Structure 1
Amino acid sequence: MNPSPQPSPAKAAAPAAEPVVYGQSDRPPRGDYSRAAADYTCPQNYAAYTAADHDTYRRLYERQAALLPGLASDEFIAALPSLGVKDHIPRFEEINERLYRATRWEIVAVPGLIPEVPFFTLLANRKFPVTDWLRTPEEFDYIVEPDVFHDLFGHVPLLFNPVFADYVQRYGQGGLKAHALGACELLSRLYWYTIEFGLIRQSDGLRAYGAGILSSAGELQYAVRSEEPHRIPLALERTMRTRYKIDTYQQTYFVIDSFQQLFDMTAPDFAPVYERVKGLPELAADALLSNDERQRWATKPT
């Protein structure tokens, strides 16, 4: 799950029935927003899942789980069993029993992409929004929007990791500050290149920890093993300057050495960083700076 980067629509007691607009996509996101509360959460509509939905989820889970060794981070592989059932869509309350005990997080259902302020508020309160509908069989290999498989399989396992879970909460707290400073677009790039499409360098090679990579069969292998994309050590200003694409594999990935490094990097006040970045030109998604070239090979997969 990631927020709509568009401004939050005005809301009264409940959100407008019309879905929010998502980023660079021409198609409004699907989802029944009329059933959402003022914070955009809703009950998981478990009765709406068909036998075909459960089978699609099972096949998606089996395919991705088989690809993880040698490509996914050790922390993710260790945490994945905490999701529980593999052969059907899990009930959120059952996951929450384990997740809250582990890190005091819980997942909440939402009808689809949600605006920035509700999204940041949920994260700041250790509540992760999970879209409760599933892609169609025709979208088995690729879907633009996050669905229940992407959110559960890609995001939730690492919420069982205490350091990463604290980073996600810190991101939500920082998002509320960024909204007040008009810097949400800059901060959204940090989310995209870490929580969604982050890579981590382990002692035995490069691995993926971002949910957008881990829930995609094609991008998981591309991000870790292909020589085509740029791989650059994560640096706040470099990352916040870099645009991204939502409808292709990433052309640039940013690499960390540990989740603790990621957490520590987000400790300072970002306000001075935003001011510096706003005075610099944006970078294309495939931009490679002169100092990036030397660093690129240091993070190239083994």
Structure 2
Amino acid sequence: MSDPFIRSGLKPEEIPADFVVDQRFEAYSAADHETWSKLHRRQAELLRGRVCDEFFEGLTALGIAADGIPDFRAMNRVLKPATGWEIVAVPGLVPDRVFFTHLAERRFPAGFWIRRPEEFDYIEEPDIFHDVFGHVPLLMNPAYADFVAAYGAAGLRAQTPEDLARLARLYWYSVEFGLIETEAGLRIFGAGIASSPGETIFALESASPNRIGFDTVRVMRTRYRIDDYQQSYFVMPGFRAMPALDEASVEAAMAQARDRADIDPEIVLPRDRVFQRGDGSHHDSTKIAS
């Protein structure tokens, strides 16, 4: 088991097959709530004018506030009637099939542990702040909620590691690191950006990364960075125009992706709809530094 499982205070034999455990809300310390409060205040301020309006609407509706770690039970009383989703507590990252099953059945598995104060700016695995503050607000949006559930069903249908990798790219460049077009300009909707101070600024304002119109096949073919900010971000045209993930649509896109070579994350293709062609300055500087 990885460190988050140890932090949860649960022994491996106490983890059920679906990895769902009690949040144990009453066990959070005052220091835990204070860490949440500091993270929330800092990130909410940074996101104003940078994240899509639907994100803040979800935060407000679900009571995800700066006064302390939210209780999953209270959020579910609002979320379940709105879009059929509920939040379930898990002690850390879960196996792929468990993850896909939860999503397909409209359960979002959220880590319930919170980072230590010395990890305030960076953690290796997602904690409750990333999962709840970053992901959960947009589950109040019906189009987004349907997209994530359909993604879970697509994951359950995948037959090979290569197809799972292509699906992972689809999730990475949308749910985790997606941008979206709005009347006010490009805005953040991906949770990996929305929960990261540095990437909030970088994704929207840096000259370094590419910003490219979202295309399902293109995204399925595009590798991504796990060790740094992204070299390319993909831009959804709007929540109502999110790509179809029914079985026929996913298989058609997957067939095209299988027949074509993978694409390095910094590449811009001639047929891309380009919002910004990045100058690569950030990643060039990190190469020099290393």
Partner of residue 24, structure 1:
none
Matched, 1:83 2:83: no
C-alpha contact 1:199 1:254 (8 A) present in aligned 2: yes
Q: Matched residues in 2 for 1:226 and 1:182: separation?
A: 32
Matched, 1:61 2:65: no
Q: Give the deviation of 1:67 after TM superposition.
A: 1.4
Q: Matched residues in 2 for 1:296 and 1:65: separation?
A: 26
Partner SS state of residue 275, structure 2: helix
Partner of residue 114, structure 1:
94
| Percent of aligned positions that are identical | 46
Instruction: Give the AA of the match of 1:145.
Output: E
Q: Give the deviation of 1:180 after TM superposition.
A: 6.3
Instruction: Give the AA of the match of 2:135.
Output: H
Tell me whether 29-38 or 239-248 shows the greater mean CA deviation.
Answer: 29-38
CA deviation profile, 1:159-191 (whole Å, cap 9, x unmatched): 111111111111111111124686111101000
Q: Matched residues in 2 for 1:129 and 1:63: separation?
A: 24
Partner of residue 20, structure 2:
41
Question: Where do 5+ consecutive residues of structure 2 fail to align?
Answer: 279-290
Q: Matched residues in 2 for 1:217 and 1:152: separation?
A: 16
Partner of residue 275, structure 1:
255
TM-score after normalising by structure 2:
0.88
C-alpha contact 2:38 2:66 (8 A) present in aligned 1: no
TM-score after normalising by structure 1:
0.85
Partner of residue 282, structure 2:
none
Partner SS state of residue 254, structure 2: helix
Partner SS state of residue 5, structure 2: coil
**Pairing partner for 2:151 from 159, 164, 171:** 171
Tell me whether 35-44 or 268-277 shows the greater mean CA deviation.
Answer: 268-277
Q: Give the deviation of 1:291 after TM superposition.
A: 3.0
C-alpha contact 1:133 1:148 (8 A) present in aligned 2: yes
**Pairing partner for 2:205 from 216, 219, 225:** 225
Q: Matched residues in 2 for 1:265 and 1:295: separation?
A: 22
Partner of residue 191, structure 1:
171
Q: Give the deviation of 1:246 after TM superposition.
A: 1.8
Partner of residue 283, structure 2:
none
Change in Cα spacing, 1:180 to 1:124, as seen in structure 2 (3 Å) is: farther
Partner SS state of residue 72, structure 1: coil
Instruction: Give the AA of the match of 2:237.
Output: D
Q: Matched residues in 1 for 2:79 and 2:160: separation?
A: 31
Q: Matched residues in 2 for 1:192 and 1:54: separation?
A: 29
C-alpha contact 1:201 1:258 (8 A) present in aligned 2: yes
Q: Matched residues in 2 for 1:63 and 1:42: separation?
A: 29
Matched, 1:94 2:71: no
Tell me whether 42-51 or 216-225 shows the greater mean CA deviation.
Answer: 42-51
Q: Matched residues in 1 for 2:3 and 2:186: separation?
A: 33
C-alpha contact 2:177 2:191 (8 A) present in aligned 1: yes
Question: Where do 5+ consecutive residues of structure 1 fail to align?
Answer: 1-18, 20-27
Partner of residue 287, structure 2:
none
Q: Give the deviation of 1:30 after TM superposition.
A: 2.5
Change in Cα spacing, 1:41 to 1:163, as seen in structure 2 (3 Å) is: same
Q: Matched residues in 2 for 1:71 and 1:206: separation?
A: 8
Partner SS state of residue 222, structure 1: helix
**Pairing partner for 1:143 from 123, 127, 144:** 123
Q: Matched residues in 2 for 1:179 and 1:139: separation?
A: 37
RMSD value, Cα: 1.9
C-alpha contact 2:76 2:86 (8 A) present in aligned 1: yes
Matched, 1:130 2:113: no
Change in Cα spacing, 1:179 to 1:159, as seen in structure 2 (3 Å) is: farther
Q: Give the deviation of 1:272 after TM superposition.
A: 3.2
Q: Give the deviation of 1:89 after TM superposition.
A: 0.8
Question: May I ask how many residue pairs the two structures share in their alignment?
Answer: 271
Q: Matched residues in 1 for 2:143 and 2:259: separation?
A: 32
Q: Give the deviation of 1:155 after TM superposition.
A: 0.4
